[in-house]
Homo-oligomer: A and B are copies of this chain.
Amino acid sequence: MSIRPDLVTFGEAMIRLSPPSFHRLEQATTLDVHVGGSELNAAVAAARLGLRTSFITRLTRNPLGRLVENRAREHGIDTTQIAWTADDRIGTYYVEFGASPRANSVIYDRSDSAIARIQPKEIDWNQALDGAKFFYTSGITPALSASAAEATLEAVDKAREADALVCVDLNYRARLWTQSEARKVMTTIAKKTDILFATEEDTLRVFGIQESSYEAVVRRLAETFDLRVAAITLRENPSVWRNQWTAIAYETDTDTIHRAPTYDIEVVDRVGSGDSFVGGFLYGYLAEGASKGVRYGVGMSALKQTIPGDLCWATVEEVERVLDGGGLRIVR
């Protein structure tokens, strides 16, 4: 049975463990348990806004694997296309929340996870992508292993065959591969991409692209890879607990730079904000194009940063309240 999803995302979801109340890991006697990963986070953001969404990964059939699936299903995500194995492990990662001048920090323990050991042809992409409007993955998935890179390329090709728009977030992870490794693979993928998400830093590190303005960066990305849309998120960090956040997107069709308001963020948990931008963008883009995309992307990801965990437990009404300048009085 096909669910004919609006959006299919593909990548790793990990168990995330974080000490509460600004404790260091060395001090921890309890850890908060969340689930996260770029493609799951984006899927949740999209699903909560109303897109029919399927998340595809490979999981070990044990309580930790089930926990990942459960947390995806909780938001209404279709998980029927996930590949299961008796072997391997579920990746974990640890987050320490900081305070100026101590930055947040992340320790990954993700080697040899079930998804890192995926092989091409393990997923029935024809079934998984049937009817899909968007396929999304990030630069993390191909970085997990050589076979994961192959599987990612296979998925991208299948998505194009299925007439889904290919959407990719660069998401460079220096712990997983070198810049030159990333450049090679991501260039191949970017050429097959319709909508590319990035940050200025990643654009430089992965593609060596540096421009005099953010606007020039997105234009350059769109030209280089013949994209429909190139979007970058923009963060200013005056302190760990207070950031400014916005994004811009260049749309090739209309040759327009689309913008969203800049938000002052009181940061509860900034992990996953770029991913929530993706989910919000795709929701808006599907409805009315990149202009709405960038606004809903920024609204959704601004809310994300006020919520514990990688996932954005917000609603479309809340995004719209933020976008409408809803104010900071108590909502009763």
A290-308 contacts to B (CB < 8 Å): 302-303, 305-308
B33 to A28, Cβ gap below 8 A?
Answer: yes
Out of B26, B109, B328, name the residue touching A103 (CB < 8 Å).
Answer: B328
Is A121 part of the binding interface, using a Cβ–Cβ cutoff of 8 Å?
Answer: no
Verify B105–A332 contact, CB threshold 8 A.
yes
A303-330 CB mask vs B (1 if < 8 Å, else 0) is: 1011111000110001000100011111
Q: How many residues of A contact B (CB 8 A)?
A: 81
From residue A181, how far is it (CB to closest CB) to chain B in Å? 17
Contacting pair A332 B268 (CB below 8 A): no
Quick check: A64 and B94 within 8 Å, CB to CB? yes
Asked if A266 CB lies within 8 Å of chain B CBs, one says yes
> When the two chains form their complex, are residues B24 and A103 in contact, meaning their CB atoms are under 8 A apart?
no
Q: List 22 A-B contacts (CB under 8 A).
A: A1-B3, A17-B31, A21-B308, A23-B308, A25-B64, A26-B63, A26-B67, A27-B307, A30-B32, A30-B33, A64-B94, A64-B107, A90-B109, A92-B92, A99-B305, A100-B328, A101-B265, A101-B306, A102-B322, A103-B326, A103-B329, A104-B331
Given the contacts A30-B32, A67-B28, A73-B74, A267 and B103 also touching, CB distance less than 8 Å = no
